[in-house]
Amino acid sequence: MASPVPQWFAERVPLGRSDVTVTRLGLGTAPLAGLFSAVAEDQAATALEAAWAAGIRYFDTAPHYGAGLAERRLGTFFATRPRAEFTVSTKVGRLLVPGESARGSEGFYDEQGVVRVRDYSAEGVYRSLAESLERSGLDSFEIVLIHDPDHHWEESVTGAYPALARLRAEGAVRAIGAGMNQTAMLSRFVAETDIDCVLLAGRYSLLDRSAADDLLPLCAEREVGVLVGGVFNSGILADPAPGATYDYFPASDDVWRRVRALAARCAEHGVPLAAAALQFPLRHPAVTGVVVGARSAREVTENTVHATTAIPEELWAELDGLDEAAAS
């Protein structure tokens, strides 16, 4: 097996106040579970092998990803790896129950015969984690996140959060938090509960820096770890070609105008736009790491190349200036 490459992104850093460490670059497993199109078993396995060979040791998953497929594929991969060498986060809030759904109906081309049911109760948390452990074959998850509780605040803070806090106190889970695509409710979690971390998708990127207004300063103050996903805003910052989406929907003319301006500045410095997008969140001192998905070994390699691309300070200053101009 190839030895890990000693790159900066393989550095293990503490996650908030917890005793959990993560690599600065984590692998998101939603694409490996058939997000938008099916991914073959061998393709997923080689992608995981490529991430491991690169030194990535933090992997994020969820029952939602492929209706359990991501957790199963991770479990197969980890069966031959030393348990102390990697960190895994999974999520609660969606239970998988027998039922029929259209293939791709929730964005995933996953296995049939299972549907997702929202459940943010304490009982739902215990059941979800037990089933995730069974699917993955792991003995524990270091990090457990409340997944997308946008319309379930009360149930989450009276059911899911106390259950996770209890599991943490018992030592069954080492870090708890919430993962969402918005900053307002994550800020409430940080201010009103004792979570260790947040996983924020899409709200701290070259196109959307809104987390810097409230969430990131609050996390820094409370010593809550911040993991940033969605650095490409669903694709447009990775490959701004016709048909690219912004937050999973067709991009507006204004977004395209901004993307073209960002890409032009990057090109002037010989830097791929995707490299600047991947590295951007880590410039903020509150950000612990970034989580980037990949559906193949080639995409994993592209991400690690972008992570190690040198970006001059002059370019960052120009990109900051474009953001200020867009906000004015």
Distance CA 50, CA 32 (A): 13
Please give the structure tokens belonging to residue 93. 């809030």
Distance CA 224, CA 195 (A): 7
**Residue for token digits 């943010």?**
120
Whether 233 and 256 have beta carbons less than 8 Å apart is answered as no
DSSP conformation letters of 10-40: G-EEE-TTSS-EEESEEEE-TGGGTBSS---
Is 248 among the catalytic positions? Answer: no
Which residue is catalytic, options 65, 161, 204, 246?
65
For residue 135, what is the enclosing H or E element?
A: helix 122-136
For residue 54, what is the enclosing H or E element?
A: helix 41-54
Contacts of 226 (CB under 8 A, 6+ apart): 197, 198, 200, 215, 216, 219, 284, 286, 287, 288
Catalytic (active-site) positions: 65
